[in-house]
Amino acid sequence: SCWIQMLSALSFLQVLFFGFGWLFFMRKLFKDYEVRQYVVQVIFSVTFAFSCTMFELIIFEILGVLNSSSRYFHWKLNLCVILLILVFMVPFYIGYFVVSNIRLLHRQKLLFACVLWLTFMYFFWKLGDPFPILSPKHGILSIEQLISRVGVIGVTLMALLSGFGAVNCPYTYMSYFLRNVTDADILALERRLLQTMDMIVSKKKRIAVAHRTMFQRGEVHNKPTGFWGMIKSVTTSVAGSENLSLIQQEVDALEELSRQLFLETADLHATKERIEYSKTFQGKYFNFLGYFFSIYCVWKIFMATINIVFDRVGKTDPVTRGIEITVNYLGIQFDVKFWSQHISFILVGIIIVTSIRGLLITLTKFFYAISSSKSSNVIVLLLAQIMGMYFVSSVLLIRMSMPLEYRTIITEVLGELQFNFYHRWFDVIFLVSALSSILFLYLAHKQAPEKHMAL
């Protein structure tokens, strides 16, 4: 009966997470689209639910809820299900929906979906080769094989997002980087855009008139051929197809220009909004935060470099270290065990919540930016895949932030992975991502004012 109680409590929580994922999908991601495929929505919510359950099990570990054997059982169960989803279900459905979009392969959807899935598995397996992630004593079909590869992909993603986020956050928060945009700038650009559209219209009118004349004279499909045809085309006084193709080229160039001008105008509008926002109280608060985050970002880059150069991975977690410092240097005595448990809980809780929230926000932004009604299903499944891998790797890395006694369960469940490798890999990718983001933002920032000066 105790067992049944625990099971029902855990299932209830899982259903709760599932419901949250479902609502998030409906209200935020797909609010402008019609969901025709419930399969996609179910897969997304299930991935989200099982990922959150992993974090919930970590919290249970710290708080000592349930007994350790039942926790271990749930860990293993959850892990198996998540791996099943991430390695079998989601990639297969991604292949299936990609194939559905291509008209040619419509008939043999299942067959081609299987082919795509097998290709994915091949590359997924090959991923293990260049990395020293496993000790040779593991068999082929073990959980460790799958987890290690999922971990590599997930950690890479986390580090990329972290690096970019660490640099982008102060850049967007601080108003120091905001370019000065006046209403006159916007009006001038809008005028240029409308002038370009007018030019396109007048050229298209000429083309339309020429087509109509040619159609009425029955010349549309008669391209003069042969020797006499060439003579005839030289002497005929109509505009001729060479002139038309010249106009068409001009139209294509003007249309490209109009697209660029549109994007630039939208950019100016967005900057103007941000300038106005920065004058409000909220804006000033974020500006201040931006300075704080830039210091934090510099410190993180510095620490990553130190870790790589001196080849060290932190042995103690921040909680224990913090407590040691307070006890040894500040001379404050308190019950280490009690406090370490509660502070770990809070710290780990904050890390979990901010990383879930940050990921969901980033995914939503990506989704709005790149999806259209055709590709929305594929993109959502890709996002579910990324989310799952991200959360699995978070569990891998969070181990470092927890005191020793709580780390053991993760080590036991995930098996003997080379955890140090993952931290090193994270530092490397983080550094690369942060430095490239700085370079990228610097170039983008420099290029923008020059564009406006050319007007």
Partner 1 sequence: MAALDRVKVLVLGDSGVGKSSLVHLLCQNQVLGNPSWTVGCSVDVRIHDYKEGTPEEKTYYIELWDVGGSVGSATSVKSTRAVFYNLLNGIILVHDLTNKKSSQNLYRWSLEALNRDVAPTGVLVTNGDYDREQFADNQIPLLVIGTKLDQIPETKRNEVLTRTAFLAEDFNAEEINLDCTNPRYLAAGSSNAVKLSRFFDKVILWQARGFAAC
Q: Smallest distance, Å, CB 222 to partner 1? A: 18
Residue 213 CA to residue 208 CA, distance in Å, equals: 9
CB of 273 to partner 1, least distance (A): 6
Q: Alpha helices of 311-455 — where are they, by DSSP H?
A: 318-328, 336-370, 376-398, 404-414, 419-453
Is 28 a binding residue for partner 1 by CB under 8 A? The answer is no
Nearer to partner 1 by C-beta: 259 or 321? Answer: 259
| Nearer residue to partner 1 within complex by CB, 37 or 341 | 37
Minimum distance from residue 255 beta carbon to partner 1 (Å): 7
Q: Does 202 bind partner 1 (CB under 8 A)?
A: yes
Listed ranges 56-64, 75-83, 156-164, 203-211: which one lies at the site for partner 1 (CB under 8 A): 203-211
- The single residue listed with the structure tokens 């091949």 is 122
Nearer to partner 1, 192 or 424 (CB): 192
Distance CA 8, CA 13 (A): 9
**Of 13, 115, 178, 197, which lies in the binding site for partner 1, with binding defined by CB under 8 A?**
197
- Applying CB under 8 A, does 200 fall inside the site for partner 1? yes
Instruction: Kindly tell me which of 343 and 448 has the beta carbon lying closer to partner 1.
Output: 448
First-to-final CA distance of the chain: 77
Q: How does DSSP classify residue 25?
A: I
Binding residues for partner 1, rule CB under 8 A, total 34
Cβ 304 vs Cβ 430: under 8 Å: yes
Interface with partner 1, residue 252, by CB under 8 A: no
What H or E segment, with its residue span, contains residue 285?
Answer: helix 281-309
Nearer to partner 1, 143 or 186 (CB): 186
Residue pair 91/385 in contact (Cβ under 8 Å)? The answer is yes
Q: How far is the CB of 361 from partner 1 (least distance, A)?
A: 15
Q: Which residue lies nearer to partner 1 by CB, 213 or 222?
A: 213
Candidate ranges 26-34, 71-79, 97-105, 300-308; the one touching partner 1 (CB under 8 A)? 26-34
Pick the closer one to partner 1 by CB: 270 or 332. Answer: 270
Q: Of 239-247, 253-261, 315-323, 428-436, which segment contacts partner 1 by CB under 8 A?
A: 253-261
Main-chain dihedrals φ then ψ at residue 375, nearest 5 degrees: -95, 5
3-state helix, strand, coil in the chain (%, to 5): 80, 0, 20
Shortest approach of partner 1 to residue 267 CB, angstroms? 8
d(CA 341, CA 15): 28
CA dist., res. 179 & res. 167, Å (int): 18
From the list 88-96, 199-207, 285-293, 396-404, the region that binds partner 1 by CB under 8 A is: 199-207
**Helical segments of 64-142, H only:** 68-84, 90-101, 109-126
Best CA proximity match to 176, nearest among 394, 445, 421, 404: 445
Contacts of 380 (CB under 8 A, 6+ apart): 25, 29, 30, 40, 44, 367, 371
Shortest reach from residue 262's CB to partner 1, in Å? 3
In the complex, what is the shortest distance from the CB of residue 43 to partner 1, in angstroms, rounded to a whole number? 21
Contact between 233 and 222 under an 8 Å Cβ cutoff? The reply is no
Name 167's Cβ contacts closer than 8 Å, sequence gap at least 6. 297, 434, 437, 438, 441
Q: Mask 307-346, x = binds partner 1 (CB under 8 A)?
A: ----------------------------------------
- Per-residue tokens: 322: 């913090």
Binding mask 255-284 for partner 1 (x = CB under 8 A): x--xx-xxx-xxx-xx-xx-----------
Identify the residue among 4, 27, 32, 333 touching partner 1 (CB under 8 A): 32
- Contact assessment for residue 374 and residue 79, using Cβ atoms and an 8 Å cutoff: no
Q: Tell me the window of 29-37, 51-59, 105-113, 395-403 that interacts with partner 1 (CB under 8 A).
A: 29-37
Interface positions, 176-195, toward partner 1 (CB under 8 A): 190, 193-194
Cβ atoms of 299 and 168 within 8 Å: the answer is no
User: Sign (positive/negative) of CA torsion 380, 381, 386, 388?
Assistant: positive
| Contacts of 441 by beta carbon, 8 Å cutoff, 6+ apart | 167, 168, 171
Q: Which region among 141-149, 150-158, 168-176, 252-260 touches partner 1 (by CB under 8 A)?
A: 252-260
Burial 78-95 (b: 16+ CB within 10 A, else e): bbebbbebbbebbbbbbb
Query: Shortest gap between Cβ of 210 and partner 1 (angstroms)?
Result: 11
Instruction: Indicate whether 31 belongs to the interface with partner 1 (CB under 8 A).
Output: yes
Which residues, numbered 351-380, are part of the site for partner 1 (CB under 8 A)? Answer: 368, 372-374
Residues that bind partner 1 (CB under 8 A): 31-34, 190, 193-194, 197, 200-202, 204-205, 207-209, 212, 255, 258-259, 261-263, 265-267, 269-270, 272-273, 368, 372-374
